[in-house]
Amino acid sequence: MSSEVHSYEIGPIRPPSEGQDLSLLLRVTRNCPWNKCEFCPVYKGSTFEYRSVSEVKEDIDKACLVKEEIKETSWKLGYGGRVNSAVIQTIVQSNHAYEGDIRAKESLINMANFMLAGERTAFLQDANTLIMRTPELLEVITYLRQSFPQIQRITSYARSKTCQKKSLSELSELREAGLSRLHVGLESGCDEVLAEVKKGVQAEEHIQGGRKVVEAGISLSEYVMPGLGGRRWTEKHALETARVLNLINPDYIRLRSLIISPFILLYQRFNAGEFEELSEDEIVEEIGLFLENLDCSSYLTSDHIANLLPEIEGQLPSDKKRMLDIISHYRSLSVKERLKFRLERRLRSYLSILNLDGKLREKVDEALNSVEQGSEEAEKKVDEVIHALRHPFV
Ligand code: SF4
């Protein structure tokens, strides 16, 4: 049988926390209106598009239809409206229109996950939803809540500059309408680093934008990128980022260490020898300095695969010492122990049957065999294999 399938548009990324919470993903704008950051590959080659309110509302209506189809099928199969894999398989297998329709399958899976999690959270995509004119964004949020009344939390990405440009009353109105949290890419509080990587914002704008979001009562999650200043700015990057965050005092600080790959613009400067990449150990040092200088009450988390030490997580200031102890413990390991730890951890995080081709297998074996030596040569091999393994995750 082949009949029309319903689907709604889903953008390329969402924060890790929204993945864990199985949020409904709704693409309110497309791509990034700035799109110049040298470390970010996500929207390069794509142009920003402002979607009309009616178009977004149509997508919300379609999301409702996807939900209805899941429920109806579940009742027909005797599952009483509950979602499970048999329901999803039956929907896909009974309608040929799903074949090759990636968007329809994505919508179906996203809706199934959202329903399984109790329909509690939604994430508005893409990179800077807050850029939408406030009355229009208010209309979208209100319609979304009317359509899915169980939603308790609506979150989105935003740029500091946009947060700074919105008035406090606009942000407060958005919070009252249901916008619960904004995820902002702070990356650094150091003006030199921000300018070099073309972040398009200065530390002072980060502070003003962030403080306004906090004052409006919207939960704020700020992303920091250890390693972004390279060797040249590592100390200032750590100190200034801590200073800026102390002044903002966001609810969450999320670490996402820099990964250099050919897919980012920064690679050109790196390749030309103009950007000196920090080693993983130097990034740990930098995080230590940053953490020592944090004086706020945020929750710090390392919830990204790019970070070597996901254990650096806790409530500030009470968990600060415990987190610093983790760093000290890592630093106290011998060179050999650190190499072994890094290799094992990265293999666990990055290695998949999909990227283990013949050449990579050889590199992994070589690194595993050399690690016992704890030599500079062994370190080089471990670094090489980690670089090769993580390319698919950039
Ligand atoms: S603003 Fe965000 S999404 Fe846009 S280029 Fe910069 S990091 Fe990427």
Distance from residue 144's CA to the centre of ligand 1 (Å) = 25
Give 312-353 pLDDT, tens digit per residue.
999 999 999 999 999 999 999 998 899 989 988 888 777 665
| Structural domain count of the chain | 3
Residue 19 predicted with pLDDT over 80: no
pLDDT at 305: 86
DSSP string, 322-380: HHHHHHHHHHHS-HHHHHHHHHHHHHHHH--TTT--HHHHHHHHHHHHHGGG--HHHHH
Residue 187 predicted with pLDDT over 70: yes
Considering the domain architecture, whether residues 7 and 145 belong to the same structural domain is answered as: yes
pLDDT above 70 as % of the chain: 96
Report which ligand 1 atom has the smallest distance to the Cα of 42.
8
Considering the domain architecture, whether residues 180 and 326 belong to the same structural domain is answered as: yes
Range of the domain at 22: 1-156
Give 279-304 pLDDT, tens digit per residue.
999 999 999 999 999 999 999 999 88
Considering the domain architecture, whether residues 137 and 173 belong to the same structural domain is answered as: no
Considering the domain architecture, whether residues 243 and 123 belong to the same structural domain is answered as: no
Asked if residue 157 has its Cβ within 6 Å of ligand 1, the reply is no
pLDDT at 357: 67
Sequence-separated (6 or more) residues with CB below 8 Å from residue 258: 39, 225, 226, 227, 228, 277, 278, 283, 306
Considering the domain architecture, whether residues 301 and 371 belong to the same structural domain is answered as: no
Considering the domain architecture, whether residues 96 and 166 belong to the same structural domain is answered as: no
Asked if residue 185 has its Cβ within 6 Å of ligand 1, the reply is yes
Average pLDDT estimate for 377-384? 84
Considering the domain architecture, whether residues 147 and 51 belong to the same structural domain is answered as: yes
Report which ligand 1 atom has the smallest distance to the Cα of 127.
3
Protein residue with its CA nearest to atom 5 in ligand 1? 35
Asked if residue 186 has its Cβ within 6 Å of ligand 1, the reply is no
Reported as type and span, the H/E element at residue 277 is none
Average pLDDT estimate for 152-158? 97
pLDDT at 355: 61
Report which ligand 1 atom has the smallest distance to the Cα of 187.
7
The pLDDT-based confidence of 18 (bands split at 50, 70, 90) is confident
Of 153, 84, 72, 70, the closest CA to residue 116 belongs to: 84
Phi, psi angles (nearest 5°) of residue 294: -75, 130
Domain of residue 197, CATH code:
3.30.750.200
C-alpha–C-alpha distance, residues 1 and 166, integer Å: 50
Considering the domain architecture, whether residues 51 and 134 belong to the same structural domain is answered as: yes
Of 251, 249, 190, 263, the closest CA to residue 38 belongs to: 263
Considering the domain architecture, whether residues 237 and 327 belong to the same structural domain is answered as: yes
Question: Last residue of some domain: 106, 128, 156?
Answer: 156
Considering the domain architecture, whether residues 315 and 364 belong to the same structural domain is answered as: no
Protein residue with its CA nearest to atom 2 in ligand 1? 127
Looking at 306-315, 327-336, 360-369, which range is the least confident one?
Answer: 360-369
Residue 137 predicted with pLDDT over 70: yes
Question: Last residue of some domain: 136, 156, 176?
Answer: 156
The pLDDT-based confidence of 354 (bands split at 50, 70, 90) is low
The pLDDT-based confidence of 4 (bands split at 50, 70, 90) is confident
Sequence-separated (6 or more) residues with CB below 8 Å from residue 342: 280, 308, 382, 386
- Is 49 in a helix, a strand, or coil? strand
Asked if residue 275 has its Cβ within 6 Å of ligand 1, the reply is no
Considering the domain architecture, whether residues 264 and 354 belong to the same structural domain is answered as: no
Phi, psi angles (nearest 5°) of residue 30: -110, 130
Considering the domain architecture, whether residues 194 and 149 belong to the same structural domain is answered as: no
